[in-house]
Amino acid sequence: MSNNLVKPRNILMAIKAQDHRNATTIKTIYNARQRYRLIEKGGRSQMQQLMKKLGECNYVEWHRCERSTDCITDLFWAHPMAIELLKVFPHVLIMDCTYKTNRYRYPLLQIVGVTSTELTFPVAFAFMDHEYEDNYTWAMERLQSLMGSNIFPRVVVTDRELALINAIHKVFPNATTLLCRWHISKNVLANCKKFFDRKETWEKFILDWQLVMFASTENEYERRLHDLTVEYHIYDNALDYVRNAWLNNYKEKFVAAWTNKIMHFGNVTTNRAESAHAKLKRHLGSSQGDFESSWTIINSLIELQHTEIKGSFEKSLTLVQHNFKPEIFRELRGIISRNAMNMVLKETQIAQKIGVDKISCGCVIRSTHGLPCAHEIAEFIIQGRPIPLSVVHSCRLVVMKISHLY
């Protein structure tokens, strides 16, 4: 039960449910778990034990040491199935560090990807002794080794960690870096709210700021920013912050007018990584564990995620919704994910209203999701032909490239 992440109190409850006369206490459970761990280690240090487990589970692992002490300073590892998923879905990666996962206070860099069924999969993890550019560059170089020479990410989403961004640009110079809108909103909240004396004014400012971030064209962006500047001209500190901290240097990395031109599959925040962090910390239960115990929990979570991903692939392959039965979807049914099918269905409904008008269409789903947009679908309807599979990005497929993984 310990190996399957069952908490001590639940182990005790399970034992007593089998035998009500059992006099075991919670201290007995903790002592038994400690004896089990000592026996399992067989005299090895925790780092030696971690290396042993990584090898037994066929993980790909790299580490580097401090030359003077021979102590490991950085450790990078990836599950074999995660590597296979990465090679199929390399287009968008999300990177973020989390803290308080171990007693040594080593930051844990987590790199995640997104499947065609919109599920998050863990690509790789790295314990680092510092968050310096050198540490991040080393981790990015290991990631590049995982992917091979012909595969690389097109989009990387992260927060404004300049050392990480510099490392990404150095190792993956052709990748576009997007900044997490959620983190930006948190920073605006933390730095600007103090400048407003009325709650109503502050709430309206935040709404108007959101309009600036989600402006769909550059002209709309300029108009929204001008309106924001005029309406809140007496709040110079707040305006200076959003302009100098974010808009002047980074607007292309988070404002929709620019991100709508990038194929990010809807990933414009690091929420997927944040969610993975939260789940990991819930299972850790404490920030005082060692590296080996942290890895054990991470490994169990990875296995569970792979099971969920497998189920999502099978569902897309075998279940066909009634809405997907019209002839226009014939070439897509059972080949692209259900999530992608639902987006195409929505565009089909829009196509019936706007026809082949490209301006009304906007083509956002084409540029951001790699799927046929409304005006394209209208053209196929006029031609009396189904939507061809060739107009769908390969990262939306589930049959041709995924089924062999399981």
pLDDT digits (tens, 9 = 90+) for 348-391: 999 999 999 999 999 999 999 999 999 999 999 999 999 999 99
The model's pLDDT over 308-356, given as tens digits with 9 standing for 90+, comes to 998 888 888 887 788 888 999 999 988 889 899 999 999 999 999 999 9
* Residue 280 confidence (pLDDT): 76
Average pLDDT of every residue of the chain: 89
Residue 77 to residue 83: CA distance in whole angstroms = 10
Q: Which of 185, 126, 181, 138 is nearest to 163 (CA)?
A: 138
* Average pLDDT for 208-215: 96
DSSP string, 180-229: -HHHHHHHHHHHHGGG-S-HHHHHHHHHHHHHHHT-SSHHHHHHHHHHHH
| pLDDT surpassing 70 at residue 245 | yes
Q: How far are the Cα atoms of 127, 328, 335, 387 from residue 370, in angstroms, in the given order?
A: 34, 18, 15, 13
The model's pLDDT over 181-190, given as tens digits with 9 standing for 90+, comes to 999 999 999 9
Residue 165 to residue 270: CA distance in whole angstroms = 14
Q: Label residues 362-394 b or e (16+ Cβ within 10 Å = b).
A: bbebbbbbbbbbbbbbbebbeeeebbeeebbbe
* Residue 288 confidence (pLDDT): 64
Helix, strand or coil for residue 101? coil
Confidence (pTM): 0.85
Question: Which percentage of the chain shows pLDDT scores above 90?
Answer: 60
* Residue 23 confidence (pLDDT): 84
Question: Which percentage of the chain shows pLDDT scores above 70?
Answer: 93
The model's pLDDT over 26-43, given as tens digits with 9 standing for 90+, comes to 888 888 887 877 766 666
| pLDDT surpassing 50 at residue 403 | no
What is the bridge-based pairing of β-strands 176-179 and 155-158?
Answer: parallel
